[in-house]
Amino acid sequence: MVIHFNVGGHLACGHKGNQLAASKELNRVKCRSCRNTEAYKQARKDQRNAARRNARQAKTAHATNWRAEWIERLTEMAGLQRLPRGFAGQAFV
């Protein structure tokens, strides 16, 4: 069974009928006409960009977390422990 791309209550390819299967999930769409429309291509592009943006934010969040965890670890250690490079003006914790 062919699944069409549903955009705003209409099918992207222009087919009409009450018995046609439609979905807003891009991965389920099988209609070649729907997949070749600008609406489908734009939705696919937006989905891809959102996934890349989320991956980049997750990577950045991890990069900031390790630094905070490292500072906390050094603070908890007994004695005068040096902070890693890049922390100018703070010779010891």
Amino acid at 28: R
Q: Are strands 10-11 and 21-23 parallel, antiparallel or unpaired?
A: unpaired
Q: Nearest 5 degrees, angle CA 8-CA 9-CA 12?
A: 75
Q: 92 pLDDT exceeds 90?
A: no
3-state helix, strand, coil split of the chain in percent (to 5) is 50, 15, 40
* Calpha distance 44→57 (Å, rounded): 20
Is the pTM higher than 0.75? The answer reads: no
pLDDT for position 64: 66
With cut-offs at 50, 70 and 90, classify the pLDDT of residue 21: very high
With cut-offs at 50, 70 and 90, classify the pLDDT of residue 47: very high
pLDDT for position 14: 92
